[in-house]
Amino acid sequence: MNRVILATILVLGSLGFAQAVLALTISPLKMEFSVDPGDIINSQFILINEERETKTVYSSFQNFEAGDETGSPKFLSEETDLATWIECPSEVTLKPNEQKLIPFRIKIPEDAEPGGHFAAIFWGTIPPKTEGRSTVAIGSKLGILVLLKVSGDITEQGELLEFNTLGQRKFFSHLPVTLYYRFENKGNVQLKPKGDIEIKNIFGKTSAVLEANEAKGNVLPKSIRRFEVKWNPEKIVEGKGFFNELKKEKTGFALGRYSANLDLKWGEKGQSSQAKLSFWIVPWRILSLGILIVLILIFLLVKGVKRYNRWIISKAIAKK
């Protein structure tokens, strides 16, 4: 169960005094529906009061669009489209540590435009009628993202714009290595890219297979989204300096030239695109230390052999 805690802040006057007055958990955080014009959706979600006192929260609705390439939504102020199709209790009172199943309904108009429609169901401590007008209290809101796909004249058109390593680096000294790709949605409905990134070593053997969209993120219409994928994200050592970097090379050891092959698919018709890149991982600190140790051993061996030869020669001379 996805759980996110909302801390609501009450600001009193101009003294800058702030107090956390609400902790609310909501689940799920995102809902997706495919519908026909005229359909009615009946669904529900869970609200949980994490506080030790009774709280009342109020609902409101806002449409959203793509905000930036990270996938963060940009909420819109216009009261149109999906935000006006949703029906939900206007307020809910929760006892300490109480959880409630909250029903909601979405009525899709007969003339709903085909494609993607996006809105959030918000819950906060301030009634919607006072929001934006109060100069005394400021309340935070927690929202459920609702993504709707209305059937009809749907256009699913996407393009893989870029595939590279973070910082477009070609050389690394250790894992993890972060890869990213940028995907553009040119259609009128949300797309959810899926696929794998296969990493092979210099001998062509598969070293790792990474899920290209593990979080199942959507790309909204007329927007670009950037997805990041880490190879061995658990191999992380904190700190800087030579010896910390040496530890990182030991923990995230890899050596040689690697190729990453992205195979991406999207849409109902299974459209696809591929991309490939290569990079090197050279743990030069470990290699340098190893070479230094080998040189020291060779030096000691040569010195030892010379001393042994002198000892043999001196012993042979003594016998004469």
Q: Does residue 318 lie within any of the structural domains?
A: no
Q: What is the pTM of this model?
A: 0.82
Domains: count for the chain: 2
Query: Do 9 and 144 share a domain, yes or no?
Result: yes
Residue 304: per-residue pLDDT: 87
Q: Using the 3D structure, point to which of 150, 169, 190 is the last residue of a domain.
A: 150
Between CA 276 and CA 281 the distance in angstroms is 17
Which position has the token pair 């043999």?
312
Distance, in Å, from the CA atom of 164 to the CA atom of 227, rounded to the nearest integer, reads 11
For 3, the 3-state DSSP assignment is coil
Look at residue 277 and give its three-state secondary structure: strand
CATH number of the domain to which 141 belongs: 2.60.40.10
Query: Are residues 136 and 170 located together in one domain of the fold?
Result: no
Q: Do 93 and 230 belong to one domain?
A: no
* Residues 11 and 143 both lie in one domain: yes
Query: Whole domain around residue 91: which residue ranges?
Result: 5-150
Is residue 102 located within the same domain as residue 178?
no
Residue at 56: amino acid letter: T
Q: Identify the H or E element spanning 133.
A: none
Residue 303 phi/psi, 5-degree rounding, is -65, -40
Do 145 and 17 lie in one domain? The reply is yes
The pLDDT, as a whole number, for residue 129 is: 67
Is residue 46 domain-shared with residue 145, that is, in the same domain? Answer: yes
Nearest to 37 by CA among 135, 145, 90, 115: 115
Domain shared by 171 and 237, yes or no: yes
Contacts of 224 (CB under 8 A, 6+ apart): 69, 161, 182, 183, 184, 185
**71, 180 contact by CB (below 8 A):** no
Q: What's the sign of the alpha-carbon dihedral 104, 107, 112, 114?
A: positive
Same domain, 67 and 11: yes
Last residue of a domain, one of 150, 182, 203: 150
pLDDT tens-digit profile, the chain (320 residues):
333 333 332 222 222 222 333 588 999 999 999 999 999 999 999 999 998 899 999 999 999 999 999 999 999 988 899 999 999 999 999 999 999 999 999 999 999 999 999 999 999 988 876 544 433 334 578 889 999 999 999 999 999 999 999 999 999 999 999 999 999 999 999 999 999 999 999 999 999 999 999 999 999 999 999 999 999 877 677 778 888 888 888 888 999 999 999 999 999 988 999 999 999 999 999 998 989 999 999 989 988 888 888 888 787 777 66
Q: Is 176 within a domain? A: yes
Asked whether residue 213 is assigned to any structural domain, the reply reads yes
Please give, one letter per residue, the 3-state secondary structure of 159-196. Answer: EEEEEEEHHHCCEECCCCEEEEEEEEECCCCCECCEEE
d(CA 281, CA 124): 49
CB 41 within 8 A of CB 119: no
Q: Does any domain span residue 131?
A: yes
Within a domain: 249: yes
User: What pLDDT, on the 0 to 100 scale, is given for residue 314?
Assistant: 81
Q: Does 80 share its domain with 199?
A: no
Is the backbone peptide bond immediately before 28 cis, with ω within 30 degrees of 0? yes
Q: Are 84 and 188 within one domain? A: no
Say how far apart CA 225 and CA 213 lie, in whole Å. 11
Using the structure block, give the residue that is written with the tokens 């959706």: 41
Pair (23, 144) in one structural domain? yes
